């Protein structure tokens, strides 16, 4: 599956066709086995696992990983090491790579991240989700009540595969009006194992919610969601309530695994469910 732009060397994604029985089995392992471990134990195990990729020897994984996952052998030339480093010192450095130059776009609204658009629907058409003993609406993802998100808003969920760029950017110019950390689980994110409800992990996983109010006084709700092996979800410098953000300004980054949900006052104009989106292309 390819994107409609040429911003990246290799903007592709494979939507796996998992047999029904296998999807149910993976969902059982994720939700009923791993998901029933205490959340703090999930985070401890995930942190321990992710720490492997901070070790200097993990740098040796980068080159074969690129050969295996990208058709363009020069893919990495579009990016630079993070945090002002001169070299990728470990695999985690590759994972949180930075653009040398962010995509430029004249559109007022852009996608905040790169990945598979695995869910896209009007809020009014979304069904309630059963999570353990609770029934939750889509507003729960954003830490809000139903009345806080207009029914005509559009909910989107972008799944970031391990190979994707893992920084989240602002989709608009605006003012940050809310930041919320929601503790939770770290169940598996891969949407193809949840079939009818690819966004199920967003309702229960640990996440940061950020509201950005645009010039028309419309609120864009973002939810930055962690998964297994996520060591940290880190907000970027200067991201605080009351702060002004410009379109494509960095909001956060993931240290392994992630999903980004959004409830927006307009619907995507060029993308539908199960298509690939990129940072900075028109929303």
Place of tokens 């919610």: 209
Entry pTM = 0.90
Q: What is the DSSP letter of 12?
A: B
pLDDT confidence of residue 134: 64
Cα 283 from Cα 279, distance rounded (Å): 10
pLDDT confidence of residue 40: 87
Q: How far is CA 9 from CA 13, 73, 102, 249, in A?
A: 13, 9, 14, 22
Q: Which of 243, 195, 142, 205 is CA-nearest to residue 19? A: 195
Question: What does the pLDDT look like over 193-243, one tens digit per residue?
Answer: 887 788 888 888 888 999 999 999 999 999 999 888 766 678 888 899 999
Q: Cα-Cα-Cα-Cα dihedral of 162, 229, 92, 236, to 10°?
A: 90
Helices (H), the chain: 20-27, 39-51, 62-69, 91-95
- Which segments of the chain have a pLDDT < 50? 1-4, 9
Cα 56 from Cα 173, distance rounded (Å): 38
Cβ(270)–Cβ(4) below 8 Å: yes
pLDDT confidence of residue 155: 94
How do the domains of the chain map onto residue ranges?
20-277
Cα 43 from Cα 31, distance rounded (Å): 15
Partners of 182 in the beta sheet?
Answer: 207
């Amino acid at each position: 599956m390819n994107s409609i732009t040429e911003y990246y060397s290799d903007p592709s994604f494979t939507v796996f066709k998992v047999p029904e029985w296998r999807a149910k089995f993976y969902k059982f392992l994720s939700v009923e086995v791993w998901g029933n471990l205490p959340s703090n134990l999930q985070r401890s195990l995930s942190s321990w696992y992710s720490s492997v990729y901070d070790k200097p020897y993990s740098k040796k994984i980068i080159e074969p990983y690129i050969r295996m996952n990208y058709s363009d052998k020069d893919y990495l030339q579009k990016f630079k090491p993070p945090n002002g480093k001169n070299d990728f010192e470990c695999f985690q450095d590759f994972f949180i790579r930075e653009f040398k130059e962010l995509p430029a776009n004249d559109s007022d609204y852009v996608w905040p991240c790169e990945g598979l658009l695995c869910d896209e629907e009007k809020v009014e058409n979304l069904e309630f989700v059963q999570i353990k003993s609770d029934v939750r609406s889509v507003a729960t993802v954003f830490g809000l009540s139903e009345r806080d998100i207009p029914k005509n808003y559009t909910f989107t969920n972008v799944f970031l595969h391990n190979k994707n760029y893992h920084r989240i950017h602002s989709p608009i110019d605006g003012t940050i009006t809310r930041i919320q950390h929601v503790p939770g689980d770290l169940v598996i994110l891969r949407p193809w194992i949840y079939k009818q409800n690819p966004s199920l992990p967003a309702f229960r996983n640990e996440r940061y919610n950020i509201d950005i109010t645009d010039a028309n006084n419309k609120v864009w709700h973002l939810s930055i969601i962690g998964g297994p092996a996520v060591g940290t979800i880190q907000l970027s410098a200067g991201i605080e309530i009351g702060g002004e953000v410009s379109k494509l300004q960095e909001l956060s980054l993931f240290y392994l695994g992630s999903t980004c949900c959004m409830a927006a006052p307009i619907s995507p104009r060029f993308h539908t469910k199960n298509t690939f989106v990129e940072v900075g292309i028109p929303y």
